[in-house]
Structure 1
Amino acid sequence: MRLENIVLDAGDPGRVGRFWEAVLGGERLSDGPEGFETRLPIPDGPVIDLCVQPVPEPPAEPLRLHLDLLGGDRQLELVDRFLALGARHLDIGQGDVPWVVLADPEGNPFCVMEHRDVYCDTGPVAALPLDSADPERDCEFWSWLTGWTRADGVAPCSLRHPSRRGPLLELCPEPAPKGRAKNRVHLDVRLDPGDDADAVAAGIVERGGRELDPGWGDLPWRVFADPSGNELCVLPAVT
């Protein structure tokens, strides 16, 4: 299994997707009624796509997963560039912090980070902070699910692709328990050829997750929640 997609909900996937492609310098894979997909530039690292999928209503809270973008010495220059592309400043109660909080064209928050040594070789997305009721437990869950391993970071537990390239997956203490609303950003995991989908589903449940029925009919993928309730999708292997 491998982490394949970062998925954002949007009312206008093309508009939001083209914004993010310009921000990240991605390679476009698709742009149509089913959504927008662009590939993150991570030389010699994992293959991760940013997908923007259509939803019938504007995304709402909670925001339990977001993107922290690499800023470093170019932080203010990049903030200006992102504002010119359609972002806006956003106050989510962050106070006086060294990073800058912005929103994409549909209001999805993201951060442009200051320099941190742990962001070496991440590519444009430095980190993926994910709310967790128990970061140590969820770290073990996501490590098993993705094959990523523990890495130095600022969160209680951080995971990274074995190549030590690409973003950190940061398990962060949640400010409040997961509610009933669907996360506006989630992760997709892709099965490898030979993986048994039912065995993976059983493994998710054994580790504290659960399978969900979103009521979307017959889908080629399966929807789950991690032990803290964060939605994720398990995609079939590509043959």
Structure 2
Amino acid sequence: MYLENLVFDALDPQRLGGFWEAVVGGETLTDEPGIYETRLAIEGGPVLDLCFQQVTEPASAPPRIHLDLRGGARQAAEVDRLLGLGAERLDIGQGDVPWVVLADVEGNACCVMEERAAYSDTGPIAALPLDSADPDWDAAFWSWLTGWTEVVGPAPRSLRHPSLRGPLLELCPEPAPKGATKNRLHLDVRLESGEDPDEVEAAIVEHGGSRLHTNWGDLPWRSYLDPSGNEFCALPAH
């Protein structure tokens, strides 16, 4: 398996997807009613698709995963660029911190980070901080699930693509346990050719995850929860 998608719930997929495509310099893959997809290819590293699927209700719970954007020496200029694209400054009680918190065009929080050695060669997305009830357990789970390897980072546990390029997946202590509300942003993994979905499901459960049974109709992928209750999907092999 490998990490393929960052999936956003969106009231207006074209507007939100267009914003993020401009932010990361992506390439449009899909632009159809109810869905927008853009591809971020990191030279020598992972290929990640940002997918925007239409929902009817605005976000109602604090995010458990968000995007940290690389700013570095150009932090102020990057903030200005995002504001020009439609982002707004956001106060979530962060206080005096070296990063800048913004809201995208649908109010989702993101951060523009200061210079950090850990974020070299990440591309435009520096990190994906994910709330975790147990960063050690979740790091082991996500490393097994994606093939990403542990690296030194600002979070208690951080993972990265084996190329050591692209964003970090940062397992951060959760401020509160996961509630029943679905995460507004989730990750998708893709099965490799020859991997059996039933065997993968059994292994997910063995590693501490669980199947998420939904009423979303007959879909070609399966939905799961990680050990901390964060949703993810396992897509069939191409």
Structural mapping, 1:17-56, within 5 Å: 17-56=17-56
CA distance in 2 between partners of 1:154 and 1:45 (Å): 21
CA distance in 2 between partners of 1:95 and 1:119 (Å): 23
Identity of aligned residues (%): 68
Amino acid at match of 1:79: V
Q: Which residue is equivalent to 2:148?
A: 148
CA contact (8 A) 1:220 1:236 kept: yes
Q: Which residue is equivalent to 2:218?
A: 218
- The total of aligned residue pairs comes to 238
Q: Which residue is equivalent to 1:3?
A: 3
Segment drifting more, 42-51 vs 53-62: 53-62
CA distance in 2 between partners of 1:207 and 1:2 (Å): 16
Residues 118-152 of structure 1, C-alpha deviations (whole Å, 9 max, x = no match): 10110100000000000000000000000001011
Alignment gaps of 5+ in structure 2: none
Secondary structure at 2:9 match in 1? strand
CA distance in 2 between partners of 1:60 and 1:164 (Å): 35
Structural mapping, 1:87-106, within 5 Å: 87-106=87-106
Amino acid at match of 1:45: G
CA distance in 1 between partners of 2:3 and 2:34 (Å): 21
Q: Which residue is equivalent to 1:122?
A: 122
1:16 paired to 2:16: yes
**RMSD of aligned Cα (Å):** 0.7
Alignment gaps of 5+ in structure 1: none
CA distance in 1 between partners of 2:78 and 2:193 (Å): 40
Amino acid at match of 1:31: D
CA distance in 2 between partners of 1:93 and 1:61 (Å): 16
CA distance in 2 between partners of 1:117 and 1:234 (Å): 32
TM-score where L is the length of structure 2? 0.99
Shift of 1:34: 3.5
CA distance in 2 between partners of 1:187 and 1:41 (Å): 16
CA distance in 1 between partners of 2:145 and 2:139 (Å): 10
Shift of 1:31: 1.1
Shift of 1:213: 1.2
Shift of 1:62: 3.0
Shift of 1:60: 2.4
Shift of 1:26: 0.6
TM-score where L is the length of structure 1? 0.98
